[in-house]
Amino acid sequence: MSQAIDIKVPDIGDFKDVPVIEVFVKVGDTVKAEDPLISLESDKATMDVPAPLGGVVKAIGVKIGDKVSEGSVILQFEGEGAAAAPAEAAKPSVSAPPSPVSAPAGLAEVRIPDIGDFKDVPVIEVFVKVGDTVKAEDPLVSLESDKATMEVPAPLGGVVQEIRVKVGDKVNEGSIIMALATGSASAAAAAPAVSAAAGQAAAPAAAAAASGGIDEAALALAYAGPAVRKLARELSVDLGKVKGTGAHGRIVRTDVEAFAKGGAAAAPAPKAGAAPAGGGVGGVDLLPWPKVDFAKFGPVERKELSRIKKISGANLHRNWVVIPHVTTHDEADITDLEAFRVQMNKELEKSGVKVSMLPFMMKAAVATLKKFPEFNASLDGDGLVLKNYWHIGFAADTPNGLMVPVIRDVDKKNIVEITKEMGELAKLARDGKLKPDQMSGGTFTISSLGGIGGIYFTPIINAPEVSIMGVCKSYWKQHSSDGKTSSWRLTLPLSLSWDHRVIDGAAAARFNVHFANLLADMRRTMF
């Protein structure tokens, strides 16, 4: 006599409330052990939940969009396999998690997690190979953006079954980098995975023939789960030509089946780097850059720009072209503040903390931003987002180029705390180890050339911010308050660049004056 058994989500690592993105079966379907039942997608991995045993689907307890965790009941089986299951497993208890033997975790596609606003980030190292066993948090690949080097860890343990990226490939958030066989399925998957990889490496032509001439590169890059890829291979469907109808363009089972029956191919994607219609900037065609053989005029030497300079250069150019910059110059009397800073450093000498002028400027910036909130904002379409937090970025000069770490919640930190955090972030920047979240979320930036020289300059706004303060090296200058007597005062040059779509000249002038007054007497920051 057949019995019913609840099928539950097996061990999926530390993931909780993972969305169901596909249901592969319907009531009445007969399935075999290891057939995929549903597909889940976390922020780091896509994984199919396989049938732990054979049977007939009696009821389905989830739908696309539902969120599940380990132990959640997803459907109910009846059949001979279910009848043979242990009595404990037959009890409809959500709280009792399934055993690893009865519910193998199957395959998990590992994706690039949230890496901030970075796009097309190159893979600079792959730490694993097919057949390797990895634990959760083991590094899988290393990426290098224009501002940081970051490692992508394994979201859960398993055996590497397939690697879909190589050094030099460019990835984004959500890009699939490899597939792991997890849970009890990992042991069975390890050996075949190794042999399959070896076979493909030794005979790529034979592998292509075995898959019906499918473009394996397109298959690896397609936005689809392991079960859908398996089905595509069985039906000799090239996923590179299939248009996904699932959420965010995901290719689902019905897309593959429809294509196999003669469905239309998706429109080819535009080639990377292709210019948009209209070309140039803002639809205006630009003249081609002049090509000159400089060697005709004398000896030359070519030096490639660093990766950071290449990408930050593109960002700076975009900001300069898109944002209508205006720069307002002023100066601040920092004579008394400098004397206080020197005294403070004497008192802190034993602690090893050495305070620069920049933390004081950050505190003055916060007080000024609170008085002029449109400077602590971002444009969003036709609206202005006014931010009620004050995260101040500071431009850090590194061997590889300019980087902008961000000090969060400057309003809640004292001068010493800001100094210590600046030192830590500056060191990470020089070592190329800044993480994306340590360079994001800024509301205002200060670019200081104080340690080098200069008087005034035009700093480029760090989008999506609407203003930036540039400061140069302070110098001694004679000041007169009454036109009759004068005295030498230490003067700090200020250069405030602002987005004219948001800010007008009068507001910018007032901002500079208020900022300068605070630096002249930091007691004013208390009001």
- Active-site positions read 500
SS3 sequence of 277-295: CCCCECCECCCCCCCCCHH
Place of tokens 């593109």: 314
Token readout for 245 is 């109808």
Instruction: Tell me how far CA of residue 432 lies from CA of 26, 141, 164, 438, in angstroms.
Output: 51, 16, 26, 12
Helix, strand, coil percentages (3-state) for the chain, rounded to 5, are: 30, 25, 45
Is there a contact between 53 and 33 (Cβ–Cβ < 8 Å)?
yes
110: nearest Cα among 17, 40, 179: 179
Mention every residue, 6+ apart, whose C-beta is less than 8 A from residue 496. 327, 328, 329, 330, 467, 468, 469, 470, 508, 511, 512, 515
d(CA 3, CA 5): 7
DSSP 124-171: EEE---TT-EE-TT-EEEEEE-SS-EEEEE-SS-EEEEEE---TT-EE
Q: Between β-strands 467-471 and 444-448, what pairing exists: parallel, antiparallel or unpaired?
A: parallel
d(CA 255, CA 345): 68
Neighbours of 198 (CB within 10 A): 12
Cis peptide before 139 (omega within 30 of 0): no
d(CA 167, CA 265): 30
d(CA 164, CA 170): 12
Token readout for 20 is 């169901």
444: nearest Cα among 519, 521, 371: 371
d(CA 26, CA 6): 15
Q: Which amino acid is at 231?
A: L
Say how far residue 302 (Cα) sits from the centre of its chain. 33
Q: Between β-strands 487-499 and 475-479, what pairing exists: parallel, antiparallel or unpaired?
A: antiparallel
Q: What is the Rg, in whole angstroms, of the alpha carbon atoms belonging to the chain? A: 30
DSSP 171-189: E-TT-EEEEEEETTHHHHH
Neighbours of 11 (CB within 10 A): 19
Token readout for 279 is 């070309």
